[in-house]
Amino acid sequence: MQQLDDVKGVDLSVTAEDVRQAEREATEARELLTELERQAVEAPAAERPEAAEITERRALAEFAARRVKFTRQRAREARAARRLLDLAEVGGSIDALAAEAVTRESGDSITQAIRKIAQSASVLRELCAQHDRAVEGIVRRALELGAEESSPSGPRATSAHVALVRSIRQPPGAQHGRTRVMPVGKRAAEAAALAAAGDPDKALALVGAVHQQPPVTRADRYFRSISGAIVAESGPQSPGFTEQERDGRLVRLTDDEVDRYLEGVLDDGDNS
């Protein structure tokens, strides 16, 4: 390359300090010349410098001035040459890194890392698909056997504590007792992206296939509204509930009715 060939004839040792030194020497030479010229005019005749001395000093001052220009030029050339050489070194680093990224076979190469992530994502999708197929089979069998919807307190004893779990965002799942299994395949891609971004906990939460449901806590009071819906309340009874109970808009359930409601025997809208 032509630019690097031009560097070969440049003295790289010339620096800004060399320029400053040349400038100092030129200033001193100029000041000495000025002083001699002053003495030639103002000093007594016996003390005046010879014309030859002034001529010699003027030549030295002119030479020092030319040397400043020459040193400045050499410093600019050296600075430009050093810049080219440094950039050439950067270029070599780029080429070496590129070659390493393309050809390196070690497990920590970018190419290998990307392939491992892709392979892991593929495995994740397949595992999620296998799980979803198993859930689908369980749901289908539960439907064939007439599994009932879950009661407020959980799956019903009349369905061997098995219930279907419906969701508007994904296919149905199933629950036995407090253990619930749900499809997860639709979240596999997002989970893989979270894991690749370094957040495995969020990824695991997203595709958690098994969930233990908390036990249902019995509320302090249950009421049936005029529409037949059952509402619950715990803690001190609110003034609004008290007023609605007083004027008949809410009817308090008996303990037996609450038991039947939690077991799924007494449903919303059931006035029996």
Instruction: Tell if the pTM clears 0.75, that is, is over it.
Output: no
Question: Are the C-beta atoms of residues 181 and 135 closer than 8 Å to each other?
Answer: yes
How far are the Cα atoms of 77, 87, 104 from residue 100, in angstroms, in the given order? 34, 20, 5
Which carries the bigger pLDDT value, residue 135 or residue 113?
135
Question: Are the C-beta atoms of residues 261 and 222 closer than 8 Å to each other?
Answer: yes
Predicted confidence at residue 143, as pLDDT, reads 92
Q: How far is CA 155 from the centre of its chain?
A: 42
pLDDT, one tens digit per residue, over 51-84 is 898 899 899 999 999 999 999 999 998 998 888 8
Confidence band (pLDDT; 50, 70, 90) for 31? Answer: very high
pLDDT, one tens digit per residue, over 207-217 is 877 777 888 78
